[in-house]
Structure formats: C-alpha cells, structure tokens
Amino acid sequence: FHQASRENILLQQQANQEYYNKNRLDPQLKLGDKVLRRIYISKGKLDPKFSPIPNIVVELHHPMYVVEDEYTGIRSQVHISDLRPLIST
C-alpha cells in the first residue's frame, strides 16, 4: 500500500513539473553580456522595475551571477531571476 502511494506521488510530481516547466524560459548568460538589474525599492507604481544603467556579467555560477556596474566598478552577486539581458540594436 505504501509503495503504491509513493509511486503515485512521484508520478504526480513529475506531471506537475512537466506542466510547470512547459513554457518556462531558461536564460543563460555569457561573460561580458550586458544586463539590466531589478530595482526592489520602488516609490511608485510607474517607477522603472529595472536599472537604467547596464551591468556587465563578470562571473558565471548559474543561477547566481556576479555583475559589475559599468560606471562605478562595484561587483555584486545576483540571481538570474533579477537580471534581464540588454538587447542592443
């Protein structure tokens, strides 16, 4: 009885994982890529959600990345969910 329950739980977990990850993006960044970083301190509804100053990816430890500010040179460790790649035209 317990073995059958365990198998059903594992099957349901796999089905849920496939459904959840079906349309999920898996962004991968490279060294030197320019990215925008999420701003958590927002004063208003219309304030920007990402910094206007691009950062450069310095180290890769997926899903954590070390980014460096272009102007100040300050490095910080950021999760991939808080980064957006900068698309240059």
Q: What residue numbers bound the domain in which 33 lies?
A: 2-85
What pLDDT digit, counting tens, does each position of 65-79 carry? 999 998 899 999 999
DSSP string, 1-25: -HHHHHHHHHHHHHHHHHHHTTT--
Total domains in the chain come to: 1
Give me the mean pLDDT over the 40-46 stretch.
Answer: 87
Q: pTM score, two decimals?
A: 0.68
Alpha-carbon span 41 to 87, nearest angstrom: 24
Per-residue pLDDT tens digits for 1-19: 899 999 999 999 999 999 9
For the cut 90, the answer to whether the pLDDT of residue 21 exceeds it is no
Instruction: For 1-89, list the strands marked E by DSSP.
Output: 34-37, 55-61, 64-69, 75-79, 83-85
Predicted confidence band at 36 (pLDDT cuts at 50, 70, 90)? very high
Q: CATH number for the domain including 52?
A: 2.30.30.140
> What is the Cα 61 distance to its own chain's centre?
12
Give the pLDDT confidence score for residue 89 in this predicted structure: 56
